[in-house]
Structure 1
């Protein structure tokens, strides 16, 4: 009732009211609870921002990135295992640049590539390659910062786009398997500040280093958030969140230096925020399974801007950016014959979560509707990165339709196995799990065809192998 003299029972203990007031001890407990709740929710809101910032910083350190025109090329298992839910089938080329120093121009080569430029909320600014304006034919692009004027750069034959953040990410996948194409593509790709001479970029290749883009836990999570907030303007939609962060010691123009009380609150908030986000990831209450009667979900249940006319899609985007990175038009809105589809599951045919100490079978029907190929990639639920089972080759955590060693059934279907041990005769169709590191998969369809969209093609659930 909050009236007169009474005792109010709460999850944080009893609050004693005398003549409507409570004492200073209760006041402190209420502030601690208020800050804890705000930190837990701020974790969910900030997940895409902290994830990509961690990626930028840790990749840069691991590969010795020094300039805006340095691109990191990831090809080996060790290199790709750094990225959250990386594909293990095609080379990656990544760059992080900052528009604070001026607009960037890209002269993009023609060819079979897919990718895009993203802002630091991991929203696409524009796609590159087959799903971009150039449609694989090559083009010139200019990227303008949030406080710049795009009109200054518009001219015939150039695509001009504005980013909502100073920091931008450029991600490219080479789809042409001919080694000669990589050399041609990288020699023709040019980038630089508008008004300066565009030159070929520096592609850092063959490093084969171990690194991690998984967002940190504890105080380091909030340290990363505070640092990236200093680099970016505050969007109108994010002002309420900035108000909730300020009492937690995270604000524009303020050094992150929490006292002992705030440190404990932030540690608890990060832990609870991650638990809540993982619950969204494993049990998404806003989404329906793609194939009725299964536990398979189509990833991406949010719009490209991460908002609608009435809401910011905080829970759906947190689900994706906790377990994955990046979003492009081709990833979010694939169409028959173009883009990519990401199917994921965390449960078997009994509805039980997938375990590392058990072996499972996935039956993949013949004639998967893809214009390019399909792949099944294994990930750790702890890190959300490619599963580390001691293997050194990409196939230790990835099986795909381009692999000649897969053993097929007479009807053209294929049975794939995940677990501690491979069933006899199916060693080439097996990926190993170890210890208590739980797992999940992405079943990717590259250039999905109509059979996926009309659901005439269907995957059944993983079945436990006795």
Structure 2
């Protein structure tokens, strides 16, 4: 397949081409003996061995290549950590967060467009807090909500609401940091959990369709440090500001990583990675002040690392499509722990956390009638990558297996945030089954359209693309039912119309 990918914002500077002397006489790298006098062809030019040694110039070039390769892979490893740190820092600044119990409420298109692949159908409520000053107590209200507490690798510490231990009935939770013994807080009627990171995210979506429930929720929720009285939180709402949680590029990416590593303990599973970062000028307990040589490796590594992450996101080679014969993948296709008995699920989590944020057991392991499913595709019915300058149709069969509703949301491939097509409301980049003006076919099915031009009379079923801003979608099923799980329900691919 001839695939053309446009990546206009990446500085693609990879040390993979042979230097001018690379084609001189010598043995290919894979056939080198590394013994005696030998000229070895490598991607960084020829390496000349004399009595099995090489000169200082070759030594420098090998270190440069070593550090570049390490930076590329470190980008992949650190993607979830840098992504959530960027989210915390940029959201706090945009919304004027001043107390560690403040919550930010995202409702409008501008607000939700800041979140990486945020849903556009229900309000988001977010809090970031550090457990370093002491354990956190949450007196959580009853009601139809879904959410959870996540550590800064974006792994769920526990779910809240309908998919949590309280099952929507409300409960008291205590969460302690990685260096605190949770057993001292255990008591009847209280759910106690330990986070592996000092920083945590408390995230909630309100599912109750009654607008009055929001006020009830806000009035009932209490948070505070254990040992102190829990108090109502401040909910920052209605700011309608533009902001971005997309991880930065270039040196800013590594500055963010260095800063968060200084806030967190190093997990055993990550020690090899922090060892690889040290020669690059990123070391726990030290400020980020790379030399010019280190900057070069970091800049090249960040660019190549993002290309590799994007390649995994577009073509996840470790898994198969969910419906055979289509290009639809189940978006979150790994374990919430991000590791299994014999390995860390590195490529799997990179795919998700380059493209999205957060994870809860309810969204990863939904049961029939509960939780959410996220389906995604980047190709049309002929296997071609989706383009912003072409028009497409998606046929959605009648009776989509959901107890709540389904939604199709449009995202930018460059930012992975809600697509910016100039629209002012959520409807411009999100269509869901609850919309009263959605035009349905005689049999109850729906045809949805994406592209520069809406079909005449079907404007309400259309989302517009612009320029060369490549796009992808999430098809979300809220409270999916059995036909999704046994695959008797199936979505077809997008059909290109021109």
Tell me the TM-score normalized by structure 2: 0.93
Equivalences for residues 90-109 of structure 1 within 5 A: 90-109=122-141
Q: Give the counterpart of 1:228 among 243, 260, 264.
A: 260
1:130 to 162, 174, 179: 162
Q: Distance in 2 between matches of 1:125 and 1:226?
A: 24
C-alpha distance after superposition, 1:64-123 (max 9, x if no partner): 001111000000000000000000000000000000000000000000000000000000
**1:147-186 alignment, distance < 5 Å:** 147-186=179-218
Deviations 1:242-268, CA, capped at 9 Å, x for gaps: 110111111111110001111111000
After TM superposition, give the deviation of residue 381 of structure 1 in Å.
Answer: 0.1
Q: Distance in 2 between matches of 1:85 and 1:294?
A: 22
The offset of 1:23, in angstroms, is 0.5
Q: CA separation in 2, counterparts of 1:255 and 1:393?
A: 42
CA distance in 1, matches of 2:420, 2:390: 17
Distance 1:165 1:356 in 2: 40
> Which residue pairs with 1:238 in the alignment?
270
How far did 1:407 drift?
Answer: 0.3
Q: Residue in 1 aligned with 2:178?
A: 146
Q: Which residue of 2 aligns with 1:364?
A: 396
Aligned-partner Cα distance in 2 for 1:54–1:244: 22
Equivalent position of 2:476 in the other structure: 444
Deviation (angstroms), 1:301: 1.6
Tell me whether 1:264 sits opposite 2:277 in the alignment: no
Partner residue in 2 for 1:63: 95
1:454 matched residue in structure 2 = 486
Per the alignment, residue 87 of structure 1 pairs with 119
Paired with 2:227 and 2:292, the residues of 1 have a C-alpha distance of 50
User: Shift of the alpha carbon at 1:177?
Assistant: 1.6
| SS at structure 2 position matched to 1:199 | coil
Aligned to 1:432: 464
- Deviation (angstroms), 1:300: 1.3
Q: Does 1:416 align with 2:466?
A: no
Match of 1:249 in 2: 281
Q: Distance in 2 between matches of 1:267 and 1:406?
A: 47
1:17-76 residue CA offsets vs partner (Å, 9 max, x unmatched): 111111100000000000000000000000000000000000000000011110000000
* Alignment size in residue pairs: 466
Using the alignment, how far apart are the partners of 1:405 and 1:36 within structure 2? 53
Instruction: For structure 1, list consecutive stretches of 5 or more residues without a partner in the other structure.
Output: none
Does residue 336 in structure 1 map to residue 375 in structure 2?
no
Pick from 349, 360, 365 the counterpart of residue 317 of structure 1. 349
In the TM superposition, residue 428 of structure 1 has moved relative to its aligned partner by 0.4
The residue aligned with 1:326 is 358
- Residues of 2 paired with 1:210 and 1:299: CA distance? 26
Q: Is residue 204 of structure 2 the alignment partner of residue 204 of structure 1? A: no
Q: CA RMSD in A?
A: 0.4
Shift of 1:179: 1.1
Matched, 1:290 2:350: no
In structure 2, runs of 5+ residues without a counterpart are: 1-32
1:73 aligns with 2:105: yes
1:425 Cα shift? 1.1
Which whole-Å CA distance do the structure 2 matches of 1:416 and 1:150 have between them? 50
2:434 aligned with 1:402: yes
Cα distance in 2, alignment partners of residues 177 and 394 from structure 1: 17
Match of 1:374 in 2: 406
Q: Aligned-pair distance for 1:304?
A: 1.3
Q: Deviations over 1:329-352 (max 9, x none)?
A: 001101100100000000000100
Whether 2:397 is the aligned partner of 1:345: answer: no
Q: Displaced runs of 4+ in structure 1, greater than 4 A? A: none
- Counterpart CA distance in 2 for 1:300 and 1:421 is 31
SS for the counterpart of 1:399 is strand
Matched position secondary structure for 2:168: coil
Aligned residue for 2:167, secondary structure, equals: coil
TM-score normalised by L of structure 1: 1.00
The match for 1:393 is: 425
Aligned to 1:191, the other structure's residue is in SS state strand
Q: 2:23 matched to which residue of 1? A: none
Q: SS in structure 2 opposite 1:100?
A: coil
Q: Which residue of 2 aligns with 1:19?
A: 51
How far did 1:16 drift?
Answer: 0.5
User: SS where residue 387 of structure 1 aligns?
Assistant: coil
- Report deviation, 1:289: 0.3
User: CA separation in 2, counterparts of 1:238 and 1:341?
Assistant: 30
**C-alpha separation between the residues in 2 aligned to 1:64 and 1:159?**
31
Q: Deviations over 1:213-237 (max 9, x none)?
A: 0000000000000000000000011
